[in-house]
Amino acid sequence: TLTDDVDNTRLDKNLYFTDAARFPLDKVLNEFVEHKGTGRLMQYNVETKDIKVLMQGLHFANGVAVGPDDAYVLVNETAAYRVMRYWLKGEKAGTSEVFIDNLPGLADNISYSENTRRFWLALYSPRVASLDELAAKPDWMKKLALRLPSFLQPQPPHKAWVLALDLDGKVVANLKDDS
């Protein structure tokens, strides 16, 4: 329902993109509140026109970046506060693992810079305590929260925030502007 981001490999004819959620953009808060993991990472081959689902069950798959030498692709799991790595080559090909976990905010996009050999991760907002608390609540409470008037529903504050990550997922720069 919500195709979000795309990146391409440099050495072959594949595109990687996310289907972030089962809800349209105007209902995106539902994905965070329900916290059911309906996002997917997919691969599209421009020559064969084949589409493959590489990962599913992602908590708002928002942002994709192909790594160096097309060895892997990273995908943000915004509602889980982490970035996942899906291996495209080598002995781990076809498997996934956490690249960085416990992010301080909601990941919005990610890109790779060949020049700096860094991933640049944009954070849309700091973590929202009410969203974290709702994630563990029963479904009836989540549905009730979504029926509240919009001004009473959890709203993430907007901040300008970017993290630079090295190839091992370590934060090497933390740039933010609270204004």
| pLDDT exceeds cutoff 90 at 96 | yes
Q: Which residues contact 144 (CB under 8 A, 6 or more apart)?
A: none
pLDDT tens readout for residues 148-172: 777 776 677 777 789 999 999 999 9
Which range has the worst mean pLDDT, 25-29, 70-74, 144-148?
25-29
The CA distance from 43 to 46, in Å, is 10
pLDDT of residue 24: 62
Neighbours of 9 (CB within 10 A): 18
pLDDT of residue 147: 72
The CA distance from 9 to 66, in Å, is 6
Backbone angles phi, psi at 83, to 5 degrees: -125, 130
pLDDT tens readout for residues 68-83: 999 999 999 988 899 9
User: Is residue 128 exposed (0-12), middle (13-18) or buried (19+ Cβ within 10 Å)?
Assistant: middle
Q: Which residues contact 137 (CB under 8 A, 6 or more apart)?
A: none
Describe the chain by its helix, strand, coil percentages, rounded to 5. Answer: 20, 45, 35
pLDDT tens readout for residues 40-62: 899 999 999 999 999 999 988 88
Name the nearest CA neighbour of 22 among 41, 43, 37, 7: 37
Residue at token pair 């209902």: 27
| Helix count and strand count (H, E) for the chain | 3, 12
Which range has the worst mean pLDDT, 12-21, 53-62, 115-124?
12-21
Q: Identify whether the C-beta of residue 81 lies closer than 8 Å to the C-beta of residue 106.
A: yes
